[in-house]
Amino acid sequence: MFKSNKKMAFSLGMLIIPWLSVPFLGKKSFFRFLPVASFTNLLISVFSVVANKRKWWVNKNPLSPGLVDFTYILGPFFVATLWIFKLTYGNFIKFFITNAVLDVICAYPFAEIWEKVGVFKLKKLTHTMWYVFCISLAVIIYGFQKVVEKTIREPNGPASKS
């Protein structure tokens, strides 16, 4: 029972605590980077379904049991995406280095903590493979945001044809 309560508290904290910082993003930044954070979550959700079906990891999260751990995706990953874009967008090198450092922290010490708490366990996927996925995802989502910004700012873009 205690272990289940510990996992539940950990999962709730993982979901709620990052959102406490969102008001400090500012409304303009939140809405500017909402599409890329949502796109990131879609990609991670699809990857999670594949990973769970292929037994790359096991999700043991009591808040979000099943193929996709929405606690992690809608909590720290979503909010971190917003913050990283707010603080680094426009300078790809800064964006990439920030992601590289945070992804190392996420893939190694944080992943080990999540495994010890019992929220998930990597099986056929190594910490390094997860890190490479996250870095690759960072490059993809930066390109996605560039396309979003170009589309919104073009005078003859889709937004102006309505």
Chain segment 98-144, per-residue pLDDT in tens: 999 999 999 998 888 888 877 778 899 999 999 999 999 999 999 99
Chain segment 35-87, per-residue pLDDT in tens: 999 999 999 999 988 988 899 988 877 677 777 888 888 999 999 999 999 99
Average pLDDT for the chain: 89
CB neighbour list of residue 46: distance below 8 Å, 6 or more residues apart: none
Residue-level pLDDT at 1: 46
The answer to whether 110 and 102 are in contact (CB under 8 A) is no
- pTM strictly above 0.75: yes
The rounded distance, in Å, linking the Cα atoms of 58 and 60 is 6
CB neighbour list of residue 143: distance below 8 Å, 6 or more residues apart: none
- Side chain identity, residue 61: N
55: left (phi over 0), alpha (psi -120 to 50) or beta: left
- Residue 53: both structure tokens together: 């079906």
